[in-house]
Structure 1
Amino acid sequence: MSDPILHPEQVDDVVRPARGWKRAAAYIVGLGLLAASVYLAVNKADWSHLRQADRSDIALLCALVVANVLTNALLFWLATKPFEVPGQPVKLREWLAMVAGTALLNYAGAKAGLIGRIAYLKKYHGISYRANVFTLVALAAGTASIYILIAAILLWRDGVDTTGLTLGTLALVVLSLVGWLFIKPAVGRFGAGQIARRDLPVWIFVWSILRIVDAVVYAGRLMIASHVLGKPIDLELALTAAVVCNFVVMAAPVPGGLGIREWLGAAIVKWGFKGAVVMDLAQGAGILVVDRVAEVVTLLALGPLALLYLHYRANKIDNNR
């Protein structure tokens, strides 16, 4: 699970009321695509291995969903550090709660999660709307750059090897310096946080590594989902699908890439790495559906607790003022 980062309509939600009918239409289309992928998987995929799946595999799949919540919380926690108001830091556990809670709320289709998060940061931590929007733009640009880098290395090196990892690390250093040139003026304008401008390149590099870890964790989810269905896929294919699916979650007009993630992920799993057919589309859809179910079940367990914690935290801040 990659947290929804930015779509043009989401910026509109911050600065003026969004056109609700567009969101509703996108949500309905997403639900339709999701229903179609579930129908295809249920009726055409082979589910015999799932009935015999080891419970530890299912538990590990849900644990990796939790790990994605943690990596996304760390990503946003790092990203907002330069813009924090002195004396009002955002605690990491608050980000854990915001990521888990907003991920659940976004399944409602109203993008209430993103809007609520920005409002929470403004009211209880003094992070301005402009700083919030800039952070979203920077995160979107950084994420897209890293995903393009991963895809390029996978295609060029036919997978993951020492040469690819070395060149990828050097490319990350270059991207960190470019990101520093982009972010430095905004930190000077909006920032008052704990990260000095001179430390930004290192901070951006650490953030970039963490974004890659997030993609690898999601790739692990897809590998486990494919294993429990009896059609295991390798790391290269899983990472390719993970990058595409995470990009869809980031950019799609419907929160969580509902439906779109399933079909694109299934297509990548079907045609494999560099177009070699691995399995039929229904089996690929089954893998993505299993992963989606694990995500929803995990968020249903975490989300309400996260929202309760945010309510408690907000009341505590209000009472201390």
Structure 2
Amino acid sequence: MPLNRLRQFGRGLGLLLGVALLALAVVYAVRGVDWTVLADAPLSGFVVLAVVVLGNLVLAGLLFWAVTLSFDASPGVGAARMVGLVCVSAVLNYLPLPRAGLVGRSAYLKWRHDLPLRQSAVIVAIVLALAVVVSGIAAGALLVSGVTAGWLALAAAVVVLASVTGAIGRRVLGRAVRHGWLWVPLRTADLLAAALRLWLAFALLGQPIGYEQAVLISAASVLVKLVGLTPSGLGLSEWLIAVLAPVLAPVETATAAAAAVLDRAAEVVVVLIAGGVSMAIMRNELTVGRSQAT
């Protein structure tokens, strides 16, 4: 079997696995949780949850933009454009194609901004490395220290890393690094936003957990998503939350599964809307550009 076809088969299998695991999580949550509590939850809670999901997309886009500044895109990629590309990528990532979001974004940046594909791969590697480092530091700071000391340790680590990122980047990449001090704070804000989503999901179900526990669970969830066995950690992330949350907080496994499913549902809805709007805007820009060229 050709390598490309094998990858496509693996991606399709991963999607099927993710859907199956998610379906099992939904069934488990439906049987173990009284979902009628959502009817009594304030509408503002759902609105805030959706806004925070959108915030995750914006922060991810800003992080890719900040990292891309140090590479050879010509013309340069604006922050709004990169946020739009990340929104579109988030939609494509759910397709049964090998790294559809990454491939689509890289191809667009090559076509419109002449960014070499190899550099796009390096940018993704940097973003993934930042996710691992920040998640590990956040988890370590909150586990080893008390709550107050843990937050202080995390803040100090972010400040220190932000101050040395540029120098480390220059040595590793062998090129000038622009606004490297933004990389770690943006990735940290992204993690904290993901934790806020989970915290809100538990609260909407009437079973609140501590925000510190939500950060720890989200840090672990980020690492599972990076493995890439299923698209965006579909299914695997939900079951990780279902297993890990009861260890860290006084909640039932079914409640944790329900919170994870609620968070995923909000993510899918917002991603589809934001990705659709971004696609429409980019298509309109391309149409206008063609008409002006002729």
TM-score (norm 2): 0.90
Structure 2 letter corresponding to 1:172: V
Partner residue, 2:201:
225
CA distance 1:136–1:317, change in 2 (3 Å): farther
Q: Deviations over 1:273-304 (max 9, x none)?
A: xxxx5121111000001111111111222221
SS across alignment from 2:80: helix
Determine helix, strand or coil for the equivalent of 1:82.
Answer: coil
C-alpha distance 176-57 of structure 1, shift in aligned 2 (>3 A): closer
Q: Is residue 294 of structure 1 aligned with residue 266 of structure 2?
A: yes
Which residue of the partner structure matches residue 8 of structure 2?
A: 20
> Larger relative CO (CA 8 A, sep 6+): 1 or 2?
1
Alignment of 1:70-85 (within 5 A): 70-85=58-73
> Residue type of the partner of 1:117?
R
| Structure 2 match to 1:282 | 254
**Superposed, which structure 2 residues align to 1:187-226 within 5 Å?**
187-188=173-174, 196-197=176-177, 203-226=179-202
Give the equivalent residue in structure 2 for 1:47. Answer: 35
Counterpart among 251, 262, 269 of residue 238 in structure 2: 262
TM-score normalised by structure 1 residue count:
0.83
Matches within 5 A, 1:166-205: 166-176=152-162, 179-180=165-166, 182-185=168-171, 187-188=173-174, 196-197=176-177, 203-205=179-181
Matched, 1:64 2:36: no
CA RMSD of aligned residues (A): 2.3
The unaligned stretches of length 5 or more in structure 2 are: none
Return the alpha-carbon distance in structure 1 between the equivalents of residues 288 and 225 of structure 2.
Answer: 33
Q: Distance in 2 between matches of 1:318 and 1:174?
A: 47
> 1:193 maps to what in 2?
none
| Paired position in structure 1 for 2:90 | 103
Instruction: State the match for 1:192 in structure 2.
Output: none
Q: 1:320 to 1:178 in 2, by over 3 A?
A: farther
Cα displacement string for residues 150-184 of structure 1 (whole angstroms, at most 9, x for unaligned residues): 0100101133x1x3344334433554466445531
Whole-angstrom distance in 2 between the partners of 1:182 and 1:227:
40
Q: What residue in structure 2 maps to residue 134 of structure 1?
A: 122
Q: Give the whole-Å Cα distance in 1 for the aligned partners of 2:260 and 2:81.
A: 29
* Matched letter for residue 109 of structure 1: P
Q: Which moved more, 1:203-212 or 1:220-229?
A: 203-212
Q: Give the letter aligned to residue 202 of structure 2.
A: S
Structure 1 residue 251 displacement after superposition: 2.5
Q: Is the 8 A contact 1:33 1:260 kept in 2?
A: yes
> How far did residue 258 of structure 1 move?
0.4
Residue correspondences, number: 290
Task: Check conservation: 2:53, 2:270, Cα contact below 8 A.
Answer: yes
Q: Report if aligned partners of 2:169, 2:180 keep a CA contact under 8 Å in 1.
A: no
Structure 1 stretches of 5 or more lacking a match?
1-12, 190-195
